[in-house]
Structure 1
Amino acid sequence: MSQNTQQLMLFCTAIVLFVTACLYGQQSVSVLSSALSSTMNTTENMEGRMSTTLNISKPLRYSGAEVLHTVRQMTGTPVEVHVDGNTYAIDPLINKSATIPVSVSASYRPEFIRSESGELLKIAFWKEASIN
């Protein structure tokens, strides 16, 4: 084979390898992007802090036990917890027997108040009237 033919074959091989590497890189970026989007959606659904859709099948309701747990869990954080208009902060390490007037069997509607940047400032629980 002549020198020119050999160089042409090497040049064509280099071009094919370069185009293949570019296409593989583009595919890898799209796969990573979709994986990141999936992870973000899963994380948002687990934490309940952000909602990316307006599709709500039923209104969110908390039982009284969940309200009590939330009040105890939020103690020591800058997030205020209001139950029926009253602010409560119970530190389970200081006073284990402290409670708040919550009916364990009742249903409460949560209201999440956020700042303009999306930071959670306050959680308010409102007792719903029972239909009996």
Structure 2
Amino acid sequence: MSRNTQHLMLFCTAVVLFVTACLYGQRNIRILNDALNDRVKTNAAMEGRVHTTLHTSGLVGYTGAEVLHTVRQMTGTRVRVEVDGHEYVIDPLEHRSVVIPVELDGKYRSEYNRSESGELLKLSFWKEVESQ
């Protein structure tokens, strides 16, 4: 068999495998979409009879060290981070000595501001005042 014939056979095999993979992926997407639509219809037909049983024990609190770490890690993302009403954007590679006024042992509560699609837009931390 000539070299050109071998290359043609390999190319045809690759094309057939690629088309088969595309069709298989399209079929899987259709199946998942149908299952999701069926689940939405089923939940809509429940007419409020679905109740959640998972309850949290309260608000999740963060320490000042966790807040500081979060502010530094969120830099470079599109998420804005706010601590006690002041927004911070710090590049740890350029500004290593920038100080964020956070009490490392303090307790902070968080607020998540999301878009209509559920994307996180802003993360706010507020210091909890200890009552005496």
The bucket for the TM-score relative to the shorter chain is: 0.5 to 0.7
After superposition, the Cα gap between the structure-2 partners of 1:56 and 1:85, relative to the gap in structure 1 and judged at 3 Å, is same
Change (3 A) 1:90 1:53: farther
Aligned pairs, how many?
81
Matched residues in 1 for 2:71 and 2:107: separation? 15
* % identical equivalent positions: 60
The structural deviation recorded for 1:131 is 2.9
- CA distance in 2: counterparts of 1:54 and 1:90, whole angstroms: 37
State the partner residue of 2:71. 71
TM-score (structure 1 length as normaliser): 0.58
TM-score, scaled relative to structure 2: 0.58
CA RMSD of aligned residues (A): 1.6
**Contact 1:83 1:126 (C-alpha < 8 Å) held by counterparts:** yes
Long gaps (5+) in structure 2: 1-51
Deviating 4+ runs (over 3 angstroms): none
Q: Does 1:96 align with 2:115?
A: no
Deviations 1:47-104 (CA, angstroms, capped at 9, x unpaired): xxxxx97611121101000000000000010100011111001111111111211111
Preserved contact between residue 79 and residue 123 of structure 1 (Cα < 8 Å): yes
The answer for unaligned runs of 5 or more in structure 1 is: 1-51
